[in-house]
Amino acid sequence: MKNQEIKIDSFNVKYSFWASIITIFILFPMALLVLKSGNIKNTASQTQLIILLLSMTFGFLIIIMKSKMKKVYFIKSDENILIKDEHHTEIKLDKNFNYNLYNYNSKKAFMIRISDENKSYFYLSPNMHLKNDIEAFFPASNKKKIRMDFYAQYFPIILCLFYYICFVCCFCYLEISMGV
């Protein structure tokens, strides 16, 4: 069997996580503080300021995620499957690995979870057109759901809920503290 290789772009989870934390706990409350302290009476100006602040806040998150993307290579040779990234980190999968794909009802990105006996690896990729190639690349017999899939599937929903709760709490706090 000749070598097969698939290359995908993947968001770096470490940077994306910390950018989300900074966005939630620092930038988002600062944006709300600017909004409340602006004391703008005109509704159109308030709307424009809200759009500007939200664009800047979440623009930071998008810029960090896009700038810290990495290339991930899935290489199949004979019976072995190797995962390699552009930093030359190599992961050789044993024969008992399993995987699962998630698309989160999105036309923009998908995630693949690959688990072996030691660890689980998550790759979130904006290359939606490669999802079918990834699914064909890995053996169908290794596609299994495990307990980790529950967390991976509901993490984005929990993150969105957390953004909403943080927004409401910060807004209420500013409302009470500024007496407006």
Q: Read off the pLDDT of residues 49-58 as tens digits, 9 standing for 90 and up.
A: 878 888 887 8
Residue 91 counted as domain residue: yes
* Model pLDDT, residue 73: 92
**How far are the Cα atoms of 47, 102, 153, 171 from residue 131, in angstroms, in the given order?**
39, 9, 16, 40
* Model pLDDT, residue 48: 82
* Model pLDDT, residue 159: 73
| Low-confidence stretches of the chain (pLDDT beneath 70) | 1-3, 174-175, 177-180
* Model pLDDT, residue 164: 79
61 and 74 share one domain: no
172 and 113 share one domain: no
Give the predicted TM-score (pTM) of the model.
Answer: 0.68
Domain that holds residue 101: 70-156
* Model pLDDT, residue 46: 75
For 26-92, the DSSP string reads: IIHHHHHHHHHHT----HHHHHHHHHHHHHHHHHHHHHHHHHT-EEEEEEEETTEEEEEETT--EEE
* Model pLDDT, residue 140: 80
Burial 70-87 (b: 16+ CB within 10 A, else e): bebebbbeeeebebbeee
151 and 81 share one domain: yes
- Fill in the amino acid letter for 72: V
132 and 56 share one domain: no
* Model pLDDT, residue 179: 59
- The count of domains in the chain is 2
In tens, the pLDDT along 79-122 reads 788 899 887 888 888 888 888 888 777 777 888 888 887 788 88
